[in-house]
């Protein structure tokens, strides 16, 4: 879900859905997008999963107040995984856009040069993410920009501060817990690197004990019926492990 930062879109909730065999990932750059009690099986196998973040070019409210909870992510993510793409979700916050589209106060060629100067001066990384030097700014008198771009100094400073503030808002309002994550069945449903410690109540690794993981629709071929293969067995680690003792994923264990 990438909408180019259109502020007319917000407050989308994906609840009790089953996502199966989807190669790509979801890029969330809108406020109040929630994923609650969904089951993801073999999703983002050529991508990174659900990514909350925005690369700014002077527009967009960003994905503040995002929620990812009570979801099951099974066999998702790229295999092999040379780039560390995890297959569940990631919080990337706000970054300055270094691509060809420039903020409204300059043109693309000049903006690229300014972007590189901010990298050189230690305010942002190569991806546009704000570094500690930018986060410590309290006044424009502390801000250093090469003389060649002096005419843009006020606008660049304001843009940098806005990026820092939006990044903080996105991160401080993100809610994530009670998710189940595991790797491929052929590997024994191993834990996923990076997930351990991300959640207080998250479950990292283990057999989800679905009825028949190889037949998501079950023998009747219909979704959301009692024979669905991704419905957990009563002994599944998903049962009762969600918030308030609820079941994790789209299906009830009952």
The model's pLDDT over 130-185, given as tens digits with 9 standing for 90+, comes to: 999 999 999 999 999 999 999 999 999 999 999 999 999 999 999 999 999 999 99
pLDDT of residue 3: 45
Read off φ and ψ for residue 239, nearest 5 degrees.
Answer: -75, 120
* Alpha carbons 92 and 126: distance in angstroms, whole number: 14
Domain boundaries, the chain: 12-95+174-245, 97-172
- Whether 231 and 74 have beta carbons less than 8 Å apart is answered as no
**How would DSSP label each residue in 60-118?**
---STT-EEES-EEES-S-SS-TT---SEEEEEEEEE--SSSPPTTS-HHHHHHHHHHH
pLDDT of residue 20: 96
pLDDT along the chain (254 residues), means of 10: 53 94 91 97 91 77 92 92 82 85 88 96 96 98 97 96 95 96 94 84 97 96 95 97 97 93
pLDDT of residue 201: 96
pTM of the full structure: 0.89
Query: Phi/psi class of residue 166: alpha, beta or left (left: φ > 0; alpha: ψ in -120 to 50)?
Result: alpha
DSSP β-bridge partners for residue 232: 210
């Amino acid at each position: 879900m990438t909408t180019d930062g259109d502020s007319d879109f917000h407050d989308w909730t994906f609840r009790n859905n089953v996502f199966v065999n989807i190669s790509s990932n979801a890029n969330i750059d809108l406020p109040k997008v929630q994923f609650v009690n969904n089951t993801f099986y073999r999703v983002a196998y050529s991508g990174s999963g659900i990514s909350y973040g925005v690369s700014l070019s002077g527009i967009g409210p960003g994905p503040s107040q995002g929620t990812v909870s009570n979801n099951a992510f099974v066999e998702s993510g790229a295999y092999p995984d040379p780039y560390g793409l995890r297959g569940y979700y990631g919080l990337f916050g706000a970054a300055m856009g270094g691509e060809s589209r420039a903020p409204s106060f300059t043109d693309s060629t000049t903006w690229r040069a300014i972007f590189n100067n901010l990298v050189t001066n230690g305010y942002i990384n190569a991806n546009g993410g704000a570094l500690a030097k930018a986060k410590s700014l309290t006044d424009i008198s502390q801000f250093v920009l090469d003389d060649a771009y002096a005419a843009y100094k006020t606008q660049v400073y304001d843009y940098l501060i806005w990026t820092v503030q939006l990044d903080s808002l996105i991160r401080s309002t993100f809610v994530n817990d009670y998710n189940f994550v595991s790797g491929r069945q052929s590997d024994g449903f191993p834990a996923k690197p990076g997930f351990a410690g991300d959640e207080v109540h998250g479950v990292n690794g283990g057999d989800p004990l679905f009825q028949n993981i190889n037949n998501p629709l079950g023998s009747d071929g219909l979704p959301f019926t009692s024979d669905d293969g991704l419905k957990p067995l009563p002994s599944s680690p998903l049962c009762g492990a969600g918030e308030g003792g609820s079941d994790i994923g789209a299906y009830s264990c009952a």
